[in-house]
A = this chain, B = another copy of it.
Amino acid sequence: MEIKIMKNILDRNQNKASEVRSLLASKKVLMVNLISSPGAGKTTLLERTCEAIGSEFRIGIIEGDITTDRDAQRLKKYNVPIVVINTEGGCHLDSHSISKVLGSFDLDSLDVLFVENVGNLICPSQFDLGEKFKIALVSTAEGDDKPGKYPMLFREAKAVLLNKIDLIPHTNFKPDNFRSDLKMINAQVPLFEISCTRGDGLDKWIDWISGEINKPI
């Protein structure tokens, strides 16, 4: 019974996601679904990204959080439109919650809409929000064994960002182990090794995401 219910929930989510995707395509807005564990650096990545491309592209942000608007407060200084979705305990965003808040944006005035999902490496990867693609972010502090242990997200992601590479000398993280683990799950996916606090590798991420924004939706 539970499997059937889960299938119904996912089917309804999928239908609404398709609507969202059509709407965003008609408005030529690229929606990116950013997924990671708690504290891997999603908000800091958005800060660096706003700084780097905020004058070139028109950015909007949806902040998914269980409670509080702390992440949105951090992003306010970039003067981009931000809407917070508090899931009140919910472990992921879904397409219905996204659909409801899209009306709060002037979609004709956006190039890209970043969705910062709830901090969770598992559930968000199962819910299509209507995004063009998912980005997986993982921190070196989480260990080099995460792609194999949490394969769904790494299989689905259009790009993988390995953040906090500045911490590697202080941990037992082995970059080669991580790379080979990821390769086993998703051999083709681009990997960006970055430090959002120190700046390493961000130029390559910025080039890549700029290229994606410039592609026809």
Q: Which 7 A-B pairs have the closest CB atoms?
A: A39-B142, A141-B141, A91-B122, A39-B143, A37-B37, A37-B38, A91-B123
Instruction: Provide the residues of chain B in CB contact with A149, threshold 8 Å.
Output: 38, 65-68, 70, 119
- Report the bound CA distance from A47 to B40 in whole Å: 24
Interface residues of A in 20-76 (CB under 8 A from B): 37-40, 65-68, 70
- Report the bound CA distance from A111 to B40 in whole Å: 36
A170 CB contact (under 8 Å) in B65, B67, B167: B167
Instruction: Provide the residues of chain B in CB contact with A141, threshold 8 Å.
Output: 39, 139, 141-142, 164, 167
Q: Nearest Cβ in chain B — how far from A170, in angstroms?
A: 5
A150 CB contact (under 8 Å) in B9, B38, B139, B151: B38
- Report the bound CA distance from A70 to B143 in whole Å: 12
As a 0/1 sequence over residues 143 to 163 of chain A, the CB contacts with chain B under 8 angstroms (1 = contact) are: 101101111100000000000
A91 CB contact (under 8 Å) in B40, B65, B70, B120: B120
Number of copies: 2
Instruction: Provide the residues of chain B in CB contact with A70, threshold 8 Å.
Output: 145, 148-149
Interface residues of A in 111-128 (CB under 8 A from B): 118-123, 126
Instruction: Provide the residues of chain B in CB contact with A143, threshold 8 Å.
Output: 38-39
Q: Nearest Cβ in chain B — how far from A172, in angstroms?
A: 7
In the complex, the chain B residue whose C-beta lies closest to that of A5 is B5
What 18 new A-B contacts, CB under 8 Å, besides A37-B39, A38-B121? A2-B9, A5-B5, A37-B38, A37-B119, A37-B142, A38-B150, A39-B143, A39-B146, A66-B152, A67-B149, A70-B148, A89-B126, A91-B122, A118-B122, A166-B170, A167-B167, A170-B170, A172-B197
Q: Nearest Cβ in chain B — how far from A209, in angstroms?
A: 23
